[in-house]
A and B are shown apart, each in its own frame.
Chain A
Amino acid sequence: MLIRRNPLVMLICIELMLNAVNLTLVAFSRQLNNREGQLFALMTMTVAAAEAVVGLAILVDIFRVRDLEDVDDLSELKG
């Protein structure tokens, strides 16, 4: 996530990390014979979906105003 400058690819990398967390949750739920891990994995999926939706909406809005090549271009709020 830190070596890519494209905001879209950064969102994709967040999805990848959340998937890794899901895998550990489900694996430990199987190991401990405990369904809570699977329930929490489902919650994580929901949060990831909501996060992707909001992030992509923000990106589309930004791209409508101007072309963006680097996330560091979005630094107008910096004092």
Chain B
Amino acid sequence: MGPATIVFWLASAVALAGGLGVVLFKEPIRNVLSLVLVMLSLAVLFLLLSAQFVFAVQVIVYAGAVMVLFLFVITLLGPVREQGTVRLPWQIFISAVVIAAFAGFLVAMLRGVSYRTPDAADPIFGSVQSIGVGLFTDYLFPFELTSILLLVAAVGC
């Protein structure tokens, strides 16, 4: 078991624990801190998948900016009293049926799959150069659409 495997298992365990924390904690501040944990461990996983640029963006934009925004709003709004969960009638039964159906789909789909280790990546795979060339040549139009979306979100109205 190489060091990459150990790092992978550690990061995925931390990500799963953080995801459970997001759903199960009662105070919103703990939800947000668990989400920061999830995002940092996902950043480690991105680095393992040789996606350096996505790793940097994940740490800076997500764990940095978006999570600070969430924390800011939570402290601005003060503690929110959350009422006990109001369950719809038959909610547990219906969710169990849906979970079983999707688990069945997954098992049926993955049963005949054989895994192969991916080919060795290019040295520039996932680097800023590769991503930048992609963004400004083949994917210029979605890139500009994204910039318009950001502009609308920033300006408002």
Interface residues of A (CB under 8 A from B): 2-6, 8-9, 11-13, 15-16, 19, 22-23, 26-27, 29-33, 35-36, 38-39, 41-43, 45-50, 52-54, 56-57, 59-60, 63, 68-70, 72
Contact = CB atoms under 8 A, between A and B. Distances in A.
Interface range, B side: 35 or more
B80 A6 contact: yes
Majority-rule SS of A interface residues: helix
A40 B134 CA distance: 11
A48 B153 CA distance: 11
7 shortest A-B CB distances, which residue pairs?
A50-B153, A30-B49, A46-B146, A31-B118, A6-B82, A56-B73, A26-B51
21 contacts: A2-B91, A9-B28, A12-B22, A15-B66, A16-B22, A19-B42, A22-B58, A30-B118, A30-B126, A33-B121, A35-B126, A41-B54, A42-B131, A45-B57, A49-B62, A49-B150, A52-B66, A57-B156, A60-B77, A69-B81, A70-B82
A22 B74 CA distance: 25
Contacts of B58: 22, 45
A22 B81 CA distance: 32
B134 A33 contact: no
Secondary structure at the B interface, as helix, strand, loop or mixed, is: helix
Nearest to B116: A31
A23 B54 CA distance: 10
B73 A49 contact: no
B28 to A, nearest CB: 5
A4 B28 CA distance: 11
Contacts of A53: 69, 153-154
B25 to A, nearest CB: 9
A49 B134 contact: no
A16 B66 contact: no
Contacts of B42: 19, 22-23
Contact of A12 (B31, B46, B50): B31
